[in-house]
Amino acid sequence: MDDEARARFGEFVAARTQALIRVAYMLTGDQHAAEDLLQSALTKTAARWRTLRHEDPEGYVRTVMYREQVSWWRRLGRYREVAVDPPPDRVAADTSGNTDLRLSVRSALLGLPPAQRAVLVLRYFEDLTESQAAEVLGCSVGTVRSRTYRALTRLRGLLPADTDAQLTEVLR
């Protein structure tokens, strides 16, 4: 689309969006679905904008909206959504208050050597036993124990002083 056509299309959209959204709302009965329907129709109209032979392309946009909505109704009849699992009964906890703590722990973890970081991830994030972690890393159980001890000691040194109490509180 050239600049002149783009400008004319922009003027059309700015001038007629309110009327078109009302039509879309009447077709769908839902504000969000109406916005989606109008956006889809305008996208299709923009693709054909240069070849439209109408002085007032609103009729074309309305026709596209009607056809899109009919297609949606037809698809709805063929493809019904089936709930496989019931939605969860509990609301997830808001952990946004722990953002500073998470950033501190992340920064401290990145300060560890890769072998120590890997041991902590396997032991505390993946929840593997010492022998499972040793198998994954291809080392002995004693090596996993010593790396875990050294990693935790170094991690405590890298974290700010008040972080240990916060971390204990969060992990409960």
Instruction: Give CA angle at 155 (154, 158), nearest 5°.
Output: 90
Separation between Cα atoms, residue 64 and residue 57, nearest integer Å: 11
Q: Which helix (H) or strand (E) holds 95?
A: none
Burial 45-72 (b: 16+ CB within 10 A, else e): bbeebeeeeeeebeebbbebbeebbeeb
pTM of the model: 0.45
Query: Which pLDDT tens digits describe the chain residue by residue (172 residues)?
Result: 688 888 888 999 999 999 999 989 888 888 998 999 999 999 999 988 888 876 778 888 988 888 888 887 776 666 666 667 777 777 776 666 677 777 888 888 888 888 888 888 888 878 889 999 898 888 999 999 999 999 988 988 888 777 766 666 655 5
Q: How far apart are the first and last CA of the chain?
A: 60
**What residue ranges define each of the domains in the chain, with the CATH number in brackets?**
3-78 (1.10.1740), 99-171 (1.10.10.10)
Say if residues 1 and 49 touch (Cβ distance below 8 Å): yes
DSSP state, residue 169: H
